Every structure is written in structure tokens, then in C-alpha cells.
Amino acid sequence: MNDLIELEGVTKTYRRGPEEIHAIDGVDLGIASGEFVAVVGPSGSGKTTLLNLIGCIDLPSEGSVVVAGIEAASLRDAELARVRASTFGFVFQQFFLIPTLSAIENIILPGRFAVVKKHDLEKRAQELLQLVGMSDRAGHLPGELSGGEMQRVAIARALINGPSVLLADEPTGNLDSRNAEEVMALFEQLNGEGLTIVVVTHNDGLAEKSTRMLHLKDGTVVDDVRVAPVAPVREISTEQVPETAAFEAEEPVVAPVPSGYVPSESKPTYVREYVSAGLTVIAGALAVISAFLSWMAVLSGYSFITLVTLPGGAFGGNAVVRTYSGRGAPLLTGIWAIVIGAAIVASGVAIALRRKRGFLAATIAGTAGFLVAAFNIVVIFVRLDAASVTGVPPGAGLWLLGAASAVAAVVGIAGMRHARHSKRENEPEEAEAPEPAAA
């Protein structure tokens, strides 16, 4: 049996001043698809911390958490967010419904962040409401619902993205016995349909409905008992499910447990970003060098004073804004090449550090440098016949500034286009928001 979730030597340590608290201490655990695992133990034994580690809300201080063969620590923050949004469904003791949204709006909300694109969120939410016996309360605000009703809405919300695993932290803790029984019956039905469930509970009745019980004490698993066969895992799409004993559905509903989303990529090497950053830094360095080429009297054959008075001569550049041969044509080279080059280098460093605006900065700085060089080259050619030293073309400094800046601009534009394309691929399509239902 292949485990969907594996914990190997997992430790979670918190600091309270000089004291180290081992909330989880060296846990090895495997959870197979279709299991219904109840985590029990005294308060402070680490049950909630273990649930957070399984659900990738927290990462371990030591050891590894592996989901569908992918280690959680190897995933980027964006992929971890996708895993939390769609691999797992979360149910909490305090419900955490948004008080200003109706029941159906609360259920739909996580669907906005789903990895798998959905075009029928409202329809799916209605089906889930029917599944949990809340069809007639779709338009009610949380404040108008009982505790049991709010928890059933919370369970429907956890199922909206079709998770592979349902994680529940004391789901019956705030419910009376009757509502607790209904929630337990719903969990039992969901597990029977193939959904993997991990629940933290003090409720013996809920624990007895599980297929496996984990006993935690002081952050370690002291007992691991399989009490029933694992539910068969089967593909469920649009087949109708039988009505439950706890909730009599007016019509058959769609099964709430599709195959789910699991992580499929390990941490990338960022080759594209590093190559782009390297090209940009080199381009910036060459732009800075172009300013010094503008001042190299030995290579130009002119004295330094001549280079100041004839900034377009030989290597073409100057430290200040001057005019070409005194005829009123401005030359923006010299110190400007240094400023532009430094800005391009900084944008390359930002790209290497994966800062959001790195490619934009490279585009702006590169475009500015290219325009400055192109402007000066055009001016020099136009004013060439009027120069006191005739026949001196734009120097190597200007050409180098233009070429290096063009490279930086192209890298920046290409990087922004790639980022926009990746964002469109990864974002779910917008679904129309449902009209608020009347209470």
C-alpha cells in the first residue's frame, strides 16, 4: 500500500525564551489513501501541531513531510499554497465562517483559489449544501445558523475544491451530542466514498468510527491501532451517491470526492532567472565600462581636455552634459552611463533574488540606456561635419552602452512576458460570483 502522506523523523520545535518546546518529537507516520485516521491524546500532546504538519500549514524543524511522493520542504511558497488550497480541505472547531457572507458564499470562496479550474462553483456549492442537509439554509448568514449547521457548512466549504485529504481539528468540540452524531455520520459517509480523513478529536464516538487510531503523548506516537479495513479508493466523478441516514436528500447529489490535486513539481532550479540575472549584471557592468572607455585618452589619441571639449570624439563620452563642438547638441554620456549601468546591475541582482520588480527594473534601465546611446549616436552623425575635428565617428563607449542596454531591456521584457504567461496558466478562471440569496 503506497502512502499518500509520509512523515519521517518529524520534529517541530518552538522557543519560549531560552526554553525549547518539542511539540512533535521524532514522529514516523504513513497515511494511505482512503484511511480514516483519528488522532487522540491529552491536551498539549501535539495533536493540532501534527495536523498542521500533515496539511503543510507548518514545516518541520527536522525530518520530512512527503505528500504524494513530493517533499513539502522542496516546494516553493506558491506551490505550497496550491497544496493547502486544493490537496487538503480543512475543518476547524471554531468554524471560521465569514460572518458577512451567506452559507453558499462561504462555501464558494475557497473555489476562487483552486488549482483545478471550475466553471460551476455555485452549482457545486448547491450540491454540497444538499449533501450536508443544508439546501434550505443557503442564503442564511452564519449568525442565523446553529453550531451544527455552521459546522456542516464548514465541511461543505472544505470539500469545494475536491481535496484528496480532509483534515479536521476537533470538528465536534463545539457541538451538542445530536449535532456531533450528524457530523460523525457525514465523515463516515465521506470516508466510505474514498476520501482520506485525518481528524483530531476527544470524542470517543468519532474515534470509534475511524479505521485507525493514533495515540499521541508528549509529541510522540505511543500507540497506532488499525481498527477497521481501509475504505476502497475509487475514482468518483459525477456518479450519484446514495442518500445518507443522517441527511435525507430531496434529490440525488454529485459525489463530493473527485481525485483531488496533489503536488507534481519539486523545487525548481530557477535556471531561467539565474541566466537572466547573469546577462543583466554583465550588461550593466559593460554599460559602466562604456563610461570609462569615453575617458581613455591614451586609446583615443587625444588629451583628456580634448575629450572633455569633444565628447563625441573617438570613444564618445563625457562626465557631464555638454554640447558637441559647442553647437548646441546635447550629449548624455559619461556619468550617465555609470548611473544607468549601476541601475542595470541592481536589476540583475533583483532578478537573481527573485524580486517581483526585477525584470521591470531591467526593462526601464535598459531602455533608458539604449535611448541615451542612440540619441547621442544620431546627434554625433548629424553634427559630424560641423565638428572642429572632422571625420570622428561615435566612439566605442557609445556603441557599447547601446548594445549592453539593449541586452538588459530584452531580458527584462522577456522575463515579464514569461511571468505573465505563467500566471495565466496557474490561475483558475474567474467564476461568476453568486447573487446573495435572500435569508
Judged on CB neighbours under 10 Å (0-12, 13-18, 19+), 13 is middle
Which cell goes with 17?
Answer: 525564551
**Nearest CA among 257, 250, 337, 324 for reference residue 293:** 337
pLDDT for 8: 92
What domains appear along the chain, each with residue ranges and CATH number? 3-254 (3.40.50.300), 271-426 (no CATH)
pLDDT for 233: 54
**Nearest CA among 98, 10, 91, 94 for reference residue 58:** 10
Q: Which residue has the cell 553634427?
A: 383
Please say whether the beta carbons of 305 and 295 come within 8 A. Answer: no
pLDDT for 398: 74
Alpha helices in 353-431 (DSSP H): 358-383, 396-426
Dihedral (C-alpha) 231, 236, 239, 243: value to the nearest 10 degrees? 40
**Nearest CA among 176, 171, 177 for reference residue 153:** 171
* Ordered per-residue pLDDT tens for the chain, 439 residues: 467 899 999 999 988 878 888 889 889 999 988 899 999 988 888 899 999 999 988 889 899 999 888 888 888 787 888 888 888 989 988 888 999 999 999 998 888 777 655 567 888 888 888 888 888 888 999 999 988 889 889 998 988 888 889 999 988 888 888 888 888 888 888 888 888 999 998 888 888 888 899 999 888 999 888 877 776 654 433 333 333 333 343 343 444 444 456 665 544 545 677 888 888 889 888 888 877 765 553 344 444 444 444 444 433 444 333 434 444 334 444 567 788 889 999 998 888 887 778 889 999 999 988 888 887 777 767 665 555 544 556 667 778 888 889 999 999 898 888 777 655 544 444 434 444 444 3
**Long-range residue pairs from 65-69, CB within 8 A, at least 24 positions apart, any chain:** 65/5, 65/6, 65/7, 65/10, 66/5, 66/6, 66/7, 66/8, 67/4, 67/5, 67/262, 67/263, 68/4, 68/164, 68/262, 68/263, 68/264
pLDDT for 254: 41
Please say whether the beta carbons of 83 and 34 come within 8 A. Answer: no
pLDDT for 232: 61
Q: What is the pLDDT of residues 248-304, one digit of tens each?
A: 433 434 444 444 566 655 445 456 778 888 888 898 888 888 777 655 533 444 444
Please say whether the beta carbons of 145 and 176 come within 8 A. Answer: no
Q: What is the pLDDT of residues 146-192, one digit of tens each?
A: 888 898 899 989 888 888 899 999 888 888 888 888 888 888 888 88
C-alpha–C-alpha distance, residues 411 and 430, integer Å: 31
What are the CA-CA distances from residue 317 to residues 283, 287, 301, 363, 410 (Å)?
18, 12, 14, 23, 24
Which cell goes with 347?
Answer: 536589476
pLDDT for 284: 86
pLDDT for 424: 52
**Nearest CA among 158, 154, 160 for reference residue 55:** 158
pLDDT for 383: 63
Which cell goes with 127?
Answer: 450540491
Determine the 3-state secondary structure of 57 from DSSP: coil
